[in-house]
Structures are given as structure tokens and as C-alpha cells.
Amino acid sequence: MEAILVDCVQKSLRHFMHANAIFLCQRLCAEFPTETNLQLLAGCYLQNNQAYCAYHILKGAQMAQSRYLFAISCFQMDLLSEAEAALCPVNEPSVEVPNGAAGHYLLGLIYRYTDRRKSAIHNFKQALSMDPLMWAAYEELCILGAAEDATAVFGEAAALCIQKQYLHCTTSPKLHSSAEDCNIVDTRHSVSEDTSPRQLKLMQGMKDFPGNHHGASILGGTAQPNNSGLSNISFYNTPSPMAAQLSGVAPPPLCRNVQPNGQNLSSLNADSSPKSTVNSTIQAPRRKFVDEGKLRKISGRLFSDSGSRRSSRLSSDASVNANANATVVSGNGTNNSSKYLGGSKLSTMAFRSMAVRKGQSWANENADEGIHNDVLDDSRLNVTSTTSSSSPTMEAKSYEQKAANFPIGGQIVSGSKVISGASEILTLLRIFGEGCRLAYLYRCQDALDTYMKLPHKHYSTGWVLSQVGKVYFELVDYLEAEQAFGLAHQITPYSLEGMDVYSTVLYHLKEDMKLSYLAQELVSTDRLAPQSWCAMGNCYSLQKDHETALKNFQRAVQLNPRFAYAHTLCGHEYVALEDFENGIKCYQSALTVDARHYNAWYGLGMVYLRQEKFEFSEHHFRMAFHINPRSSVIMSYLGTALHALKRSEEALMVMEKAILADKKNPLPMYQKANILMSLEKFDEALEVLEELKEYAPCESSVYALMGRIYKRRNMHERAMLHYGISLDLKPSATDAAAIKAAIEKLHVPDEMEDNL
């Protein structure tokens, strides 16, 4: 009876019939109230997004798998201290973290969100050492700014680890094969008769479901466990090269010699499943890295900075009004030719061409495939030498492994293909990892160059194009960012990856129609995703409806309190409403979630700058600068704060660096001219402004500042000319009033002027 109920529960979970699985598992636990059966019930509730049920079921349980599932429940309920206590009991400091790499990854998340960076880094690295294919752990290290070079992480050591997991088999009684390995040795015995090949293929990804941890065949096959030790198999476990696991044994490799009638499944250990990862129900938020592009456009006001919100430009005219077919200069001063694509609906061939990267010609389809495949083909190295030695016995064993067949993922794969496959996977991960690492270090051009090395079939996926869009966004190259995000959204319209950043790109480009359509589309796709409400908030913010925008951003925070960008956007709206106290609280909340979210540091600096607390302002701008030392905008405002502190020479040096970081950004040039004017270096200031006119010919504040300089030099006619030009360029109402007041006082001596 127990075996039948277990099989029915697992079958229901495979078919996503969670309510049926829960009901049957409740009957199972009523008849056989063992802790392993309670684990299965807790897994059913977790898959049904009912973490609170799993929490109460497993509270006080002692088995390793129970502690892991309980920790997942606590994590989802934001009970981080209880989750940590479940994984690392205080009264048992020597106990191993359950479930190997998955357990260390979860523990790393807990440490990250409790502001223990070093411990988080240690556990993420530990997870990677146990399972080199745990990409999520490497991405977390990138977010923390602590990732090692991807070439080292996904190098030969990782290849050896993977080979050991799949190729090395032993018959030692201490090493038990997992149920999924034994059950698929012979598909005639492991697959039920009513399972079609299509179903088999679809079910291959179901091995890691939390409810499926009793050791019966994932396909509901003929292998029937008995009542005594049936539930000792956990599909949460991840492969580990370490010999000391919680169960006291090393995770088993796949055993090619196990016969269908061999070892009884009841003898399998609870922590021996080699291929599971953290359940998808753990949706720990990621800090979506953003840059100065998320800050509002600089208003360009003449005499006071209005607390600009997200952007890095004095005026958007230069970038927004640029011809779509022209060459766009990215934020680091390098040119990137843009290929803008017309038409909203694409044919098959047009769709293929949309993902083509810059500078590459794809006139020949065959050449297309050949070029991209070479990236991996060249790296498919024979790594068998790493598993062999000078010993003839070892060489024979290595040859035997390469010639033998192994059951992996429901398929029978030769040893040589396992070796070459591992090499190909790691080659891909090296490129992905290095691009991700460089992006989080804000080495944007290097990150772009790395992503360009990907094969075409990978580059033209939604995830990669979203990352490319974020990188262009960091470079304040909004037109390129919009193109990349647009392609990503067309390829994967169901994915919300990066859509919050995409909405901010459209906000800066003042594409109100596109932004409105995107926001409605995202909300209809997933109303419970914070990205959807961030897009909706940006839409209202563009219409200057800051109160409604704030409500939408607060909704995003409510849906995911660990979404740092939503906290920052709330701060921007509070500042726009001049509620600085609540704005500061929102920025601080963002930093609690992610201390490297430098937009929040920038926001705090802007608030203190407006409050004329210049020392605080300098501190926060400098913190943002340490995180992103390539941001021209941050350097510009850091120089402004230094100038306010009467450290003008130091401010000038910072402005020079800001100009070199982005020669097309007019803000540092404008601020440099302002500083030179205050130092009475009028000729140098005018020289800088004349150069600035070429980059921002329609910026009224440039001409207004030139008018002030000519007034200081008693060149009233020239001053009047430039004030007039400034008014003709239609500045804001506040700036226009200030300019008119300056014109009226043209013949008043400098010492009698006020507020000029």
C-alpha cells in the first residue's frame, strides 16, 4: 500500500497535479506516519507554494532531508534565523550542511540577506566546489563582487569533478547508487509501458522535484521499494566530490554494472541522490544590476541642481534625437555601430537576422552556422589525459571508462561523450561566467566583448540579449539598450528578465507609448512579478504622476522585499515629491538588500547634496564610486560635492576623470566650467563651454553660464546675446525666470547681485 501511494504521489507531482498529490500524501502519512513520508508531504506543499504548511509539518524534525526542506520553508517565509539553525544546528557545530552543494547555496543566500558577506562568499564557493555546474552560486558571487575568473572556476578541476560524478563507479558497500541511476540502466525495466518517448523526454527534468524523494523510479516504473527504507532517497541532493557527506559516504557516480534485479532500493541512503539542485520554489531575488542610466535626466538648470532622478545627461536631445542608423557612442567613449531594425513583425528570416551581432556579416546561412559553431568546436579538447596516469592499470581503466556506456538523464551515453560533453558545457560556462563577472564589476565594454564570443544560437536567446541590454544601459547607450531588450522581449515574451531595466530605458528615451504598452503587457503576463509593477511605476513617473508611480513601486516591494531596485525607485519618487526622510529610508532599505546597489548610494548622495550636507554627500558619492569607478555621472557629482566643500582643485581632477570616462557626457564639462568660473579662470571656462556647445548645442544652461561669465568680465553685449539664446532654447520655467532676472541686473555691479 505504501509503495502504491508513494508512486501515485510522485506521478501526480510529475503531472503538476499538486492538489491530488497532497491528498494522497496525506493518506500516506495517516497510514504510515514516518518522517520520510512527512518529507514527501512537505515537498508537495512546497511545490504548491504553501511553504507555511511544510514549515509546520517539519518543525522539530531531525533528519538531514527534513532539515533542508524546513530551511527552504523558512527561507520562503523570511524566517532566516530559523532557516540557518536548521542547516547549521547550534548544538551540533560539527554536523555537515545537508544536501551538499544545494545546502551550501541556500546557506549562502541566508548569510547574504543577513549581511554576512564573508560567510555568504564561503558557502557559495563551497557549493561550486561540490557542483561546478551550479551556475546560481557563481552568479551570486558575481553579485557580491567576489567571483573568481571564470576560466579558473570552470577549468580542468571542474571537468575532473564532473567526470568523477559520472564515470567513476565503485561497488563498495559504503557507496550506494541512487535510485534514478539504477532505475534507468535498462529502459525496458525502468519505464512503464504507458510512457511514450515524448513523455520520457519531458520528464527528464522532473528528477529534482522536492516531492520525488522516495527512491522509486521517476518514471513510475516497475522497481517497487519496500516499506522499510523506501523514503531514504532525496532528489534535493547535488553531486559532490567530497567523501564526507552528511550520510558519511561520498555521493555515488552512475553505476553501469547494476542489474535490474540487483540491489534492493530499500537499501539506498537518504543523502545519495547525485543530481539535484535547489528547488525552483526558492526564488531568492537577485539584485538586478543597474547603473547611472536608472537616474533621471539632469534638468540642466542654471543655478541649482533639482535632484535629478536616474540619468546621466544634461539633455537627452543628443541621444534621443540621434538617427537610428547613425553610429552611437557608448558611455566609455568607444564607438559601436548600431543596426536598427525596422518593422514590428518579423518573418522567419528577418527574425534570424535580428539577433545578428554588431560588425558581423551573415549573408551566407552556412557561413553563419560555421562561424558560431567554431567557438565550441575549437574547445572540444580531449581531456582524457587528466584521468589517466603512467600506470598501465590506470590507462586501461581510463580506456574502459571511455568505451563503457553510462545512463545519464534517461539516455545511454558513452564515456567519451561524457568527457567531451563536460568540456563543451564548461567552455560555454566560461564565456557566460566571465561576461557575468565583468558586467557586475561594471567593466561594460569587456563584458560586451565577452558575450560576443558566444555561439549565435546562445547569443540570440532572451537571457543573453537581456544581459547585453543591461550592459548598454550601464554605458548610458539607451538606443542600443532598447534594441537589445526589444529583441529579448520578442524572442522570449514570457520572460521578465531585465524588463524593469528595459522600462527605465524607455523612460529615459521618453517613449511613453512603448512604455505604456510594455507595462500593460508585463502585468498581463505576471501580476505577481516586481518587474511588472516597476514598469508600470516608470510609466506613471514619465507622466509626472509621482504619487501613483510610488504606489506601483511599493507594490513591487510588497511582492518581493528583496528586490533592491524597487526600493531605489521608491526613493526616487519620494525625492521627486520632496519627502527626503522617506526617500532616505527607501535607499537604506535597498542597501540592506544589496550593499553593492550603488544607485542607492547615489540617491543618498543626491539627497544630502540638495540638503547642503556636503560631507555626507561626498561620503555617499564616494561609496558609489568605489563600487562603480567607471561611472562618469558619479564622478561628476562627487566633484560637485568636493567643490561645495571648497576643495576645488581636487574637484577639477575628478571632473577631468569624468570627462575621460565618457567624452559624450556633457555634465562633467558643464561642472568643470562652473568650477573654473568660481576660481575666476574665465578664459579656461569659456574654452570648455565652447567645446561643450558642440556636444549639447541645444542646452540652454550652457549659454546661460556663458552669459554669467561674460557679465563677470563686464562684456555686457556678449552676456545679453547668450542670455537671449538661452531663453530661445525654451528652458524650464524656473530657469527662464532666473535668466530674465539676470538680464534685468546686467548693469548692476557684481557685489550687488543676488542669487546669480
Cβ contacts of 612 within 8 Å, gap of 6 or more:
644
Q: Are residues 672 and 710 in the same domain?
A: no
Residue 257: count of CB within 10 angstroms of its CB: 10
**CATH number of the domain within which 84 lies:** 1.25.40.10
Question: Quick one: pLDDT band at residue 419, thresholds 50, 70, 90?
Answer: confident
Surface-to-core class of residue 651, CB atoms within 10 Å of its CB (0-12 exposed, 13-18 middle, 19+ buried): buried
Q: Are residues 743 and 681 in the same domain?
A: no
Q: Are residues 672 and 718 in the same domain?
A: no
Among 88-102, 159-173, 586-600, 726-740, whose mean pLDDT is lowest?
Answer: 159-173
Alpha-carbon distance of 620 to 630, in angstroms, equals 16
C-alpha cell at 505: 530605458
* Among 98, 123, 146, residue at a domain's last position: 98
Which H or E element spans position 411? strand 411-414
Phi, psi (deg, nearest 5) at residue 176: -100, 140
Does residue 193 register a pLDDT over 60?
no
User: Is 536 within the bounds of a domain?
Assistant: yes
Radius of gyration of the chain (CA): 30
Q: Give the per-residue pLDDT at 746.
A: 76
Alpha-carbon distance of 74 to 87, in angstroms, equals 11
Does residue 567 register a pLDDT over 60?
yes
Q: Are residues 631 and 682 in the same domain?
A: yes
Region for residue 646 given its phi and psi (left: phi exceeds 0; alpha: psi -120 to 50; beta: otherwise): left
Alpha-carbon distance of 355 to 508, in angstroms, equals 24
* Among 540, 566, 595, residue at a domain's last position: 595
Mean pLDDT taken over the chain = 75
Neighbouring-strand partners of residue 328: 336
Among 31-40, 136-145, 259-268, whose mean pLDDT is lowest?
Answer: 259-268
Q: Are residues 5 and 57 in the same domain?
A: yes
Q: Tell which residue, 130, 64, 154, 78, has the closest CA to residue 109.
A: 78
Q: Give the per-residue pLDDT at 421.
A: 83
C-alpha cell at 251: 555521493
Alpha-carbon distance of 515 to 506, in angstroms, equals 6
CB 242 within 8 A of CB 130: yes
User: Is 78 within the bounds of a domain?
Assistant: yes
User: Is 627 within the bounds of a domain?
Assistant: yes
Q: Are residues 667 and 645 in the same domain?
A: yes
**Exposure of 540 in the CB half-sphere (CA atoms within 13 A):** 20
Number of H helices, E strands in the chain: 38, 4
Does residue 201 register a pLDDT over 50?
no
Does residue 177 register a pLDDT over 80?
no
Does residue 710 register a pLDDT over 70?
yes
Q: Which amino acid is at 560?
A: N
Q: Are residues 573 and 631 in the same domain?
A: no
Q: Are residues 2 and 93 in the same domain?
A: yes
* Range list of H helices, 577-699: 580-593, 598-610, 614-627, 632-644, 648-661, 666-678, 682-695
For 273-305, the pLDDT digits (tens) are 333 333 333 444 444 444 444 433 333 333 333
Q: Give the per-residue pLDDT at 94.
A: 81
Q: Are residues 506 and 582 in the same domain?
A: yes
Q: Give the per-residue pLDDT at 352.
A: 34
User: Is 155 within the bounds of a domain?
Assistant: no
**Exposure of 728 in the CB half-sphere (CA atoms within 13 A):** 9
Does residue 335 register a pLDDT over 80?
no
* Among 658, 686, 714, residue at a domain's last position: 686
Q: What is the DSSP string of 486-501?
A: HHHHHH-TT--TTHHH
User: Is 478 within the bounds of a domain?
Assistant: no
Q: Are residues 94 and 1 in the same domain?
A: yes
Residue 740: count of CB within 10 angstroms of its CB: 12
Q: Are residues 69 and 24 in the same domain?
A: yes
Q: Are residues 2 and 94 in the same domain?
A: yes
Does residue 171 register a pLDDT over 50?
no
Q: Give the per-residue pLDDT at 165.
A: 79
User: Is 540 within the bounds of a domain?
Assistant: yes
Phi, psi (deg, nearest 5) at residue 414: -75, 155
Does residue 57 register a pLDDT over 60?
yes
Alpha-carbon distance of 330 to 661, in angstroms, equals 10
Count the domains in the chain: 4
Which domain, by its residues, includes 12? 1-98
User: Is 358 within the bounds of a domain?
Assistant: no
CB 65 within 8 A of CB 98: yes
User: Is 463 within the bounds of a domain?
Assistant: no
